Structure 1
Amino acid sequence: MDQLLAMRAFSRVVEAGSFTRAAESLDIPNTTMSKLVQELEAHLGVKLLQRTTRRVTVTPEGHDYYAKVTRVLRDLEDIDSSFSVARSNPRGNLRIDVGGLTARDVLIPLLPDFMTRYPDIRIDLGVADRSVDLISDNVDCVIRGGPLDNSSLVARSIGEATMVTCATPAYLKHYGVPAYPDELRNGHRLIGYLSTQTGRAMPFRFEHKGERTEIKIEHRLGINESNAHLAACVAGLGIVQTFAHAANTALREGSLVEILMKWRPPSYPFHVVYPQNRYVTHRLRVFIDWLLESFPARVRGIG
């Protein structure tokens, strides 16, 4: 038995909650994954996992063994990455998850610089507005905006995005230009951004001289993906609140017009998030450091 591989296999099954997903993440056959865990259990003389056709459950002994094994695996990776070649030339695969507009307008335009600096780091970029489970999906880090509610994750602030309220000139000609946020309640068509977690539309938020206002309005159209949300506004379907960096081009070209500029929404915080119980590899460290250096200026404002 390759005990180190068996330990890695067992750890990934626990993290992924599935033999199939664990096998995919380690790029080994499902049958090999199952055999490795069985051999490890035989070697230890304890049952680590309870398997049925529908689910995998970790036994109490499995939980205890997993806690010890992850420390060993982190130490081994730390040893590998401590040598000068690895530190000066980080290599390997990074799995990163990011929302649609942020990927399109911020991260992807910046990536040529990172990939030139670190040519031996491969990136698998997951682009979606939905939240991912970093452990079960085997994601190294996510770039997310808004409030954070998971205390089991480490979050590093990487900048704040300017938000704008906007619509097309044709829409404003037909429905009028609102002078105050409360006027949005009277006959205007708002395009709601639907939370991927709750399915409910996010309220329109405004800030003026330090005072914040939140307006919950019945939307006629709700969309749960940020690119489509902005596209609906450009199509003249109504008013949206969105990132300034996403609307920049349309605002400069005149296909969108910013409204209620004195009541711009509060700045939207962005973080890079990763699991606190997972060893931070050198390649992830250099990526986070690069984000802290490069991300804030591009996400911040209009222009």
Structure 2
Amino acid sequence: MNKLQAMEVFIQVVDCGSFTKAAEMLNLPKATVSTLVQTLETTLSVKLLHRTTRQVMITSDGAAYYERCIQILSDVRDAEESLSRHRLSPSGRLRVDSPTGLSSEILIPALPAFFERYPDITMELGSTDRVIDLVEEGVDCAVRGGELLDQNLIARRIGVINFVTCASPAYLERHGMPQHPRDLERHRCVNYFSAKTGKILNWDFTRDGERIEVALPGAIALNDSNAYVQAGLAGLGVIMMTDYLLIEHITAGRMVQVLPDWSIDPLPVHIVYPQNRHLSAKVRVFVEWVSELFAGHPNLRLQAPKAVVASSATVLETV
């Protein structure tokens, strides 16, 4: 038995909670995964997992062994990287997840520079506004906007997302220019709903200490930022979206900003990765590259050092 491979397999089974999912992630037959874990248990003379027809649960001995396996494999990778050219030229497949708007407008246009710097890395970039489970879906790291709730993630703050409210000239010609957030209650608005909960998000505005939160009427609600912008361009109603997706349309006259004296709370942007995983060279260089990318973007960079806000996720602050 390859002990290190068996440890990798055991860790994946624990993370996925399933032999079938672990086999898919590792691209191994399920029988091989099962055999390796069973052989590991036989060698150790310890039961690591409780198996039922519905789920796999880790034993107390298994939990202790799991933590040691994480550390051992991390040490092995550190040793390999210190003696390998991969430290200077990271290689391999990198799985990343990012919201659709950030992917299409920020990451993808900049990726040629990344691949020129790191030609031996290949990337699978998932673009979705749905918050995924990184461990369950085998993703190395993700760019996320908003507050962080997952305590199993390490988070590095890399920027901030600002919002703007606007509408198409054709829409405003038909319905008029709103002067106050309450005026929007008499307008048609394009709503955004959570891909996770299905809940339509309220609209928040602030001015001179006054704060207004409203639920607004609309003929359509979407859960994809690029589709949301297209709805605004089509004249379906007033929209509230990230400024980096709208600034080009506003400059070109395809959209008009409304309620410019009312501000909208910005969202922090983090790059996150599982805390129980060794940060490989390919992930490390991508984290640094994305941080540089956001630091150089006028609409996304942090304007000043921010205090770290306590949260259930481990947050590394950067400017």
TM-score range, shorter chain: over 0.9
Whole-Å Cα distance in 2 between the matches of residues 256 and 44 of structure 1?
66
- Aligned twin of 2:311: none
Superposed CA offset, 1:169-221 (max 9, x none): 11111111111222112x21111111123321222122334654332334442
Whole-Å Cα distance in 2 between the matches of residues 77 and 166 of structure 1?
50
- Aligned twin of 1:151: 151
Q: Is 2:191 aligned against 1:207? A: no
Q: Is 2:209 aligned against 1:196? A: no
- Aligned twin of 2:64: 64
Change (3 A) 1:286 1:210: farther
Q: Helix, strand or coil for the counterpart of 1:164?
A: strand
Superposed CA offset, 1:55-111 (max 9, x none): 222222221211111111111111112235222111122211111111010111111
Letter in 1 for 2:215: K
Whole-Å Cα distance in 1 between the matches of residues 240 and 105 of structure 2?
16
Whole-Å Cα distance in 2 between the matches of residues 17 and 197 of structure 1?
21
CA contact (8 A) 1:140 1:274 kept: yes
CA contact (8 A) 1:162 1:299 kept: no
Q: Which runs of 4+ in 1 moved over 4 A?
A: 209-212
Unpaired segments ≥5 residues, structure 1 = none
Q: Is 2:121 aligned against 1:111? A: no
Letter in 2 for 1:91: S
- Aligned twin of 1:138: 138
CA contact (8 A) 1:16 1:138 kept: no
- Aligned twin of 2:315: none
Unpaired segments ≥5 residues, structure 2 = 301-319
Superposed CA offset, 1:29-54 (max 9, x none): 22211111111111112222222333
Letter in 2 for 1:129: D
Change (3 A) 1:296 1:238: farther
- Aligned twin of 1:273: 272
* Matching of residues 97-246 of structure 1 within 5 Å: 97-185=97-185, 187-209=186-208, 212-246=211-245
Q: Is 2:44 aligned against 1:38? A: no
Whole-Å Cα distance in 2 between the matches of residues 168 and 263 of structure 1?
19
Q: Helix, strand or coil for the counterpart of 1:126?
A: strand
Whole-Å Cα distance in 2 between the matches of residues 221 and 257 of structure 1?
20
- Aligned twin of 2:305: none
Letter in 2 for 1:290: W
CA contact (8 A) 1:156 1:272 kept: yes
Query: 1:115 deviation in Å?
Result: 0.9
Whole-Å Cα distance in 1 between the matches of residues 195 and 240 of structure 2?
17
Letter in 2 for 1:179: Q
Q: Helix, strand or coil for the counterpart of 2:297?
A: helix
- Aligned twin of 2:290: 291
CA contact (8 A) 1:166 1:241 kept: yes
Whole-Å Cα distance in 2 between the matches of residues 268 and 213 of structure 1?
17
CA contact (8 A) 2:48 2:58 kept: yes
Change (3 A) 1:38 1:192: same
Query: 1:242 deviation in Å?
Result: 0.6
Q: Helix, strand or coil for the counterpart of 2:200?
A: coil
Whole-Å Cα distance in 2 between the matches of residues 288 and 210 of structure 1?
37
Whole-Å Cα distance in 2 between the matches of residues 50 and 151 of structure 1?
25
Number of equivalenced pairs = 300
What is the percent sequence identity of the aligned residues? 42
CA RMSD across the alignment:
1.8
CA contact (8 A) 2:188 2:217 kept: no
CA contact (8 A) 1:107 1:295 kept: no
